[in-house]
């Protein structure tokens, strides 16, 4: 098992290498001088020269890539052009808000999506099955930033049940932390729970047609026990897989949604960086969140062995 | 049958949106960019059906003109990523050596959350409609390429393709006569979903200030303008949001219907 964990982690290294290469090459996609583009139309020659040295654009690409990669491996993502602070430090300060939001969104999505999918599969063709189809079509058509405003308008400004905007760190108490995150997390879970619900339903339908389910029914096992003990456990692998893959969409939506709810997380940092044309920060955020995504999927792979003893490595 | 109905509703709504986009300059009188400082932040009225924004611009005009950008970006991305993705997927399926390299690159690109990759691309290229199309196309290409690669790999094992190879049909002919027809249906289905994703990405990019230039009335830009004011004037969010939602819904309904019609293997129903 330990050997497998190590091997699986090593497999993630080339993927991250390609991610780094892609993020690095972006700068060279620009027609013309990247320093000029990043500095903007109103920049003075000094500002452009400063950006060029900060990003190391005065060196040949290969040499620059090597140096850049070495710094990343050492945990140095460069410094912000605008504030001069270390990018790792700036991202680090904002990780709590973003990870809180992501964590809660994953919890909500599983809590909504899995039971919904199970119910739809158990009562195939019933109103609840139709409801899941409608829910997922609506979910896929409702971008997070629109859903966010709709929920904030309904539950915050009209009903005044929850705060409109803001974030309280966990140090300030669990309830204030949770209260501020409920709306944004529900916003994010709309699409994500729809995906999870669809996959749960499909996977459950497949398992429910197996012989051992019929055997369990025949010997009089309680229906809920068949669904949740016999079927769901065996239907779990595709569900876990989609939870892992869907994290990419979730991370992307979180970056946008933070701006609807004024949450001081990585997404806000990104938007400020766009405003200030602060490319090192954008680069750092992309690398960091992609790494998080890759690691989540390594963890998902490892989960398979726990869930399904037939899968051995 | 219900699916067939939703496909027609989706297709119909989409046609209406496309007509609005195409005909906007002919049926509407007035300039969506015209400032009118005297009538700022007005609620919907007979004069301004959707009200006005903080610069006094008419929101009805802006939202209807916004359909042009959204649909144009969505369509362009769907078309370009289908063509390029198909080419890459076929090359990858044809050559084992190319496959190694291409699929590793695609894996890497797909490990970057779509919006973040698009943001990074926009940051280095600067805001313009063309750059949005390029950025979102680059994000979507791997998804199409993977699909096509998988289909071609399985088609290649089919007896009729083997037979064509064994009688010495030239490779170009095999691609045109035997492979492309098998690709068309799933590609059309995929393209509709790419279209929807591209419209979401365009709106999201513009919303956070990394998309189309703020002077262009796109739905994302209108939403961005309303960001600070939505609590005072919720209609500023409502109208562009409703149009975006209905357009996305119609494309998704069309896509779901087409999938069931053209490509039953991919349908979620078992």
Provide DSSP, B199-251. HHHHHHHHHTTSSS-TTS--HHHHHHHHTTTTTT-THHHHHHHHHHHHHHHHH
Residue B35 falls inside a structural domain: no
Residue B267 falls inside a structural domain: no
Is the separation of the CB atoms in B40 and B19 below 8 Å? Answer: no
The 8-class DSSP code of residue B42 comes to P
SS (H, E, C) B68-111: HHHHHHHHHHHHHHHHHHHHHHHHHHHCHHHHHHHHHHHHHHHC
What's the pLDDT score for residue B264?
Answer: 61
Helices A144-151 and B180-207: crossing angle, nearest 10°?
A: 50
SS (H, E, C) A178-245: HHHHHHHHHHHHHHHHHHHHHHHHHHHHHHHCCHHHHHHHHCCCCHHHHHHHHHHHHHHHHHHHHHHH
What SS3 state is found at A77? coil
What's the pLDDT score for residue B270?
Answer: 38
Q: Is B84 on the interface with A (CB under 8 A)?
A: no
Confidence of residue B198 (pLDDT cuts 50, 70, 90): very high
> Cα torsion at B182, B185, B186, B190 (round to 10°)?
140
Whether the pLDDT of residue B173 is over 90: the answer is no
What's the pLDDT score for residue B3?
Answer: 65
Nearest CA in chain A to B112: A290
Q: How many domains is chain B built from? A: 1
Give A19's contacts in chain B (Cβ within 8 Å): 108, 111-112
Residue-range definition of the domain harbouring residue B169: 57-262
Q: A214: how many CB neighbours lie within 10 A of its CB? A: 12
Strand-pairing partners, residue B212, are none
B6 contact partners, CB below 8 Å, separation of at least 6: B253, B256, B257
What's the pLDDT score for residue B263?
Answer: 67
**What is the arithmetic mean of pLDDT over B150-171?**
88
Q: Is B121 on the interface with A (CB under 8 A)?
A: yes
Six-digit token string for A167: 């974030």
Q: Residue A164: which of B98, B160, B234 has the closest Cα?
A: B234
Is the separation of the CB atoms in A231 and A211 below 8 Å? Answer: no
Residue B167 falls inside a structural domain: yes
- In tens, the pLDDT along B39-53 reads 777 778 777 777 777
- CA–CA distances in Å: residue A4 to residues A7, A243, A298, B202: 5, 21, 11, 41
* Distance, CA of B192 to CA of B219 (rounded, Å): 20
What's the pLDDT score for residue A50?
Answer: 79
What CATH number is attached to the domain comprising B195?
1.10.3720.10
Q: What is the pTM of this model?
A: 0.89
User: Are residues A23 and B120, on separate chains, in Cβ contact within 8 Å?
Assistant: yes
Domains of chain A: 94-307 (1.10.3720.10)
Residue B51 falls inside a structural domain: no
Six-digit token string for A90: 């700036």
CB pairs under 8 A between A and B: 148
Six-digit token string for A276: 């200030």
Give A145's contacts in chain B (Cβ within 8 Å): 203-204, 207, 223
Residue B114 falls inside a structural domain: yes
Question: pLDDT per position in chain A (313 positions), as tens?
Answer: 778 888 888 888 888 988 998 888 887 776 667 777 777 777 788 888 877 777 777 777 788 888 888 888 888 888 888 788 888 999 998 999 999 999 999 999 999 999 999 999 988 888 999 899 899 989 889 998 889 988 988 888 888 888 888 888 888 888 888 888 999 999 999 999 999 999 999 999 998 888 888 998 899 888 888 888 888 888 888 899 899 888 988 999 999 999 989 899 999 999 989 888 888 899 999 999 999 999 998 888 888 877 777 766 5
Six-digit token string for A251: 């991370």
Q: B240: how many CB neighbours lie within 10 A of its CB? A: 30
Size of chain A in residues: 313
Residue B63 falls inside a structural domain: yes
Residue B9 falls inside a structural domain: no
- In tens, the pLDDT along B24-74 reads 888 777 777 777 777 777 778 777 777 777 777 888 888 888 889 999 999
* Distance, CA of B256 to CA of A138 (rounded, Å): 12
Q: Is B214 on the interface with A (CB under 8 A)?
A: no
What's the pLDDT score for residue A55?
Answer: 74
Residue B207 falls inside a structural domain: yes
Q: Is A91 on the interface with B (CB under 8 A)?
A: no
- In tens, the pLDDT along B238-269 reads 989 999 999 999 999 998 888 888 866 655 54
Q: Residue A187: which of A114, A292, A101 has the closest Cα?
A: A101
* Distance, CA of A256 to CA of A168 (rounded, Å): 19
Six-digit token string for A313: 């490595």
């Amino acid at each position: 098992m330990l050997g497998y964990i190590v091997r699986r982690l090593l497999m993630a290294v080339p993927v991250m290498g390609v991610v780094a290469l892609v993020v690095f090459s972006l700068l060279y996609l620009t027609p013309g001088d990247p320093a000029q583009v990043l500095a903007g139309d109103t920049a003075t020659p000094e500002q452009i020269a400063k950006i060029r040295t900060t990003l190391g654009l005065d060196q040949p690409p290969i040499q620059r890539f090597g140096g850049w990669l070495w710094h990343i491996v050492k945990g140095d993502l460069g410094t912000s052009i605008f504030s001069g602070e270390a990018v790792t430090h700036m991202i680090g300060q904002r990780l709590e808000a973003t990870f809180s939001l992501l964590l809660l969104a994953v919890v909500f999505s599983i809590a909504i999506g899995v039971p919904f999918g199970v119910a739809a599969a158990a009562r195939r063709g019933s109103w609840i099955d139709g409801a899941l189809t409608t829910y997922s079509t609506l979910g896929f058509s409702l971008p997070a930033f629109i859903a966010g405003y709709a929920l904030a308008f309904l539950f915050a400004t009209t009903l005044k049940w929850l705060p409109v905007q803001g974030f309280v760190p966990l140090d300030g108490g669990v309830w204030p932390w949770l209260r501020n995150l409920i709306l944004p997390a529900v916003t994010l879970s709309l699409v994500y729970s729809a995906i999870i619900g669809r996959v749960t339903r499909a996977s459950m339908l497949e398992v429910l047609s197996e012989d051992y389910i019929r055997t369990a029914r025949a010997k009089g096992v309680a229906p809920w026990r068949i669904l949740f003990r016999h079927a769901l456990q065996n239907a779990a692998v595709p569900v876990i897989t989609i939870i892992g893959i869907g994290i990419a969409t979730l991370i992307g939506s979180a970056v946008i949604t933070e701006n609807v709810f004024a949450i001081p997380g990585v997404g806000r940092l990104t938007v400020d960086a766009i405003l200030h044309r602060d490319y090192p920060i954008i680069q750092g955020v992309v690398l960091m969140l992609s790494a998080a995504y890759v690691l989540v999927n390594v963890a998902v792979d490892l989960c398979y062995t726990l869930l399904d003893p037939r899968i051995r490595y | 049958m219900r699916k067939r109905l939703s496909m027609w509703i989706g297709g119909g709504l989409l046609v209406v949106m496309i007509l609005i986009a195409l005909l906007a300059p002919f049926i509407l009188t007035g300039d969506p960019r015209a400032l009118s400082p005297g009538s700022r932040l007005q609620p919907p009225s007979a004069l301004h059906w959707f009200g006005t924004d903080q610069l006094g611009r008419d929101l009805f005009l802006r939202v209807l003109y916004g359909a042009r950008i959204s649909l144009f970006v969505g369509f362009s991305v769907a078309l370009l990523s289908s063509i390029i993705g198909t080419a890459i997927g076929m090359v990858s399926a044809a050559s084992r050596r190319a496959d190694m390299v291409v699929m590793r690159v695609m894996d890497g690109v797909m490990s970057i959350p779509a919006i973040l990759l698009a943001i990074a691309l926009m940051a280095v290229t600067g805001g313009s409609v063309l750059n949005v199309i390029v950025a979102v196309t680059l994000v979507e290409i791997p998804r199409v390429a993977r699909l096509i690669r998988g289909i071609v790999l399985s088609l290649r094992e089919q007896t009729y393709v083997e037979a064509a190879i064994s009688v010495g049909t030239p490779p170009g002919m095999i691609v045109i006569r035997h492979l492309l027809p098998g690709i068309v249906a799933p590609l059309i289905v995929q393209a509709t979903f790419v279209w929807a994703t591209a419209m979401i990405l365009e709106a999201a990019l513009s919303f956070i200030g990394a998309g189309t230039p703020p002077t262009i009335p796109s739905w994302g830009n209108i939403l961005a303008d309303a960001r600070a004011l939505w609590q005072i004037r919720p209609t500023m969010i409502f109208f562009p949001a409703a149009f975006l939602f209905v357009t996305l819904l119609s494309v998704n309904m069309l896509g779901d219907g087409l999938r069931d019609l053209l490509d039953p293997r991919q349908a979620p129903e078992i």
